[in-house]
Amino acid sequence: MAETREALQNDDRVELRFPARGDLIVLARLVTSAVSARAGFDIEELEDLRLAVGELCLLTLQGTDDGSGDLCLRLRVRDDAISISSTLERAAASEVSPDNDNEENARLSEQILGALVDEHGRESRDGSVRAWMRKRRGGHAE
């Protein structure tokens, strides 16, 4: 009989790629919940991570046309933490110039992330956007 391994171990990785559409962010939330549970996070931390990954994806999609390109979510389990990055690949820039609403939405997403996770950031490079976050088990985001 083959032995099954229920829990994710140090340095295990999971990747999810889907069309960059806001209505599909639910997929990122579901995968994050499942991976976090297998990595040993408690129910409160799971909820924080589920909410945070939604904001992470929204932050990645800021300033792009909905549905253009792919959103790639990478989750990595490390000892007592999970690191998650969301990268927008092959997306066309929005035809609408950046406005105050987009900037305010990005600030709101960053504030929410700050309340839910231990570390987070966002960067643009070579036509792609990447946002990332890290949460420790038993850690308390400030």
Sequential pLDDT tens for the chain (142 residues): 444 456 777 778 999 999 999 899 999 999 999 999 999 999 999 999 999 999 999 999 886 666 678 999 999 998 889 999 999 987 665 543 455 677 888 899 999 999 999 999 998 877 678 999 999 998 654 4
* Residues in the chain, total: 142
The answer as to whether 4 is a domain residue is: no
CB hemisphere CA count around 91 (13 angstroms): 29
Q: What is the number of domains present in the chain?
A: 1
Residue 87 β-bridge partners: 72, 130
Q: For helices 25-38 and 43-61, give the axis angle rounded to 10 degrees.
A: 150
The answer as to whether 50 is a domain residue is: yes
The answer as to whether 71 is a domain residue is: yes
pLDDT of residue 111: 95
Domain membership of residue 117 as a residue range? 13-136
DSSP H or E segment with residue 134: strand 128-136
The answer as to whether 90 is a domain residue is: yes
Quick check: helix, strand or coil at residue 27? helix
The answer as to whether 142 is a domain residue is: no
CATH of the domain at 85: 3.30.565.10
82 neighbors 76 (Cβ within 8 angstroms): yes
The answer as to whether 39 is a domain residue is: yes
pTM of the predicted model as reported, rounded to 2 decimal places: 0.84
pLDDT of residue 68: 76
The answer as to whether 105 is a domain residue is: yes
The answer as to whether 2 is a domain residue is: no
